[in-house]
Amino acid sequence: MSVIPGLEDVAIKYTSLTSIDGQKGILRYRGYDIKDLAYNAEYEEIVHLMFYGELPRHDELERTKKNIAEGYKVPDFVIQVIRTLSSDSDAVAMMETAFGAMATTEKNFAWSKEKDKEIALRIVGSTARVVAEIYRRKRDMPPSTIHEKSGNYSESFLNMCFGNINEKEKIDAMNKALILYVDHEVPASTTAALVASSTLSDMYSSITAALAALKGPLHGGAAEAAYNQFLQIGSPNNVEEWFKKNVMEGKKRLMGFGHRVYKTYDPRMLIFKEIAKKSISDEEGKKLLTVAEKLEELGVKQFSSKGIYPNTDFYSGLVFRYIGFPVDMFTALFALARVTGWLAHIMEYVEDQHRLIRPRAIYTGPERREYVPIEKR
Specify whether 58 is catalytic.
no
Which residues are 224's β-sheet partners?
Answer: none
Q: Does 260 bind a second copy (CB under 8 A)?
A: yes
Binding mask 72-101 for a second copy (x = CB under 8 A): -----x--xx--xxx--xx--xxxxxxxxx
Please tell me whether residue 358 binds a second copy under the rule CB under 8 A: yes
Q: How many residues bind a second copy (CB under 8 A)?
A: 110
CA dihedral over 85, 87, 90, 96, signed as positive or negative:
positive
Contact 227, 317 (CB under 8 A): yes
> What is the closest distance, in whole angstroms, from the C-beta atom of residue 249 to a second copy in the complex?
25
Site string for a second copy, 196-215 (x = CB under 8 A): xxxxxxx-xxx-xx-xxxxx
357 binds a second copy (CB under 8 A): yes
Q: How far apart are CB 351 and a second copy at their closest, in Å?
A: 14
Stretch that binds a second copy, among 52-60, 123-131, 165-173, 311-319 (CB under 8 A): 52-60
145 binds a second copy (CB under 8 A): no
Q: Is 131 in the site for a second copy (CB under 8 A)?
A: no
Cβ neighbours of residue 226 under 8 Å, at least 6 residues apart?
A: 255, 256, 313, 314, 317
For a second copy, the binding residues in 151-190 under the rule CB under 8 A are 185-189
Angle between helices 116-138 and 43-52 (to 10 degrees): 140
In angstroms, the CA 49 to CA 39 distance is 15
Q: Which residues contact 298 (CB under 8 A, 6 or more apart)?
A: 239, 240, 243, 247
**By CB under 8 A, residue 217 contacts a second copy:** yes
Q: Is 316 in the site for a second copy (CB under 8 A)?
A: no
313, 345, 352, 354: the catalytic one is: 313
CB of 289 to a second copy, least distance (A): 27
Closest by CA to 233, choosing from 316, 278, 275, 290, is 290
Give pairs for 23-26: CB < 8 Å, separation 24+.
23/263, 23/264, 24/264, 25/262, 25/264, 25/265, 25/266, 25/267, 26/267
Active site residue 36: no
**Annotated catalytic residue, options 48, 259, 266, 345:** 259
Count Cβ atoms below 10 Å from residue 228 Cβ, excluding itself. 15
Q: Examine residue 4 and tell whether it contacts a second copy (CB under 8 A).
A: yes
Q: In sequence order, what DSSP letters do the residues of 145-174 get, joined into one string?
A: S-----S-HHHHHHHHHHS----HHHHHHH
Residue count of the chain, please give it.
Answer: 377
Least distance between a second copy and beta carbon 377 (Å)? 5
Our finding on whether 46 is near a second copy (CB under 8 A) is no
Minimum CB separation of residue 163 from a second copy in Å reads 25
Q: Which residues are catalytic?
A: 259, 313
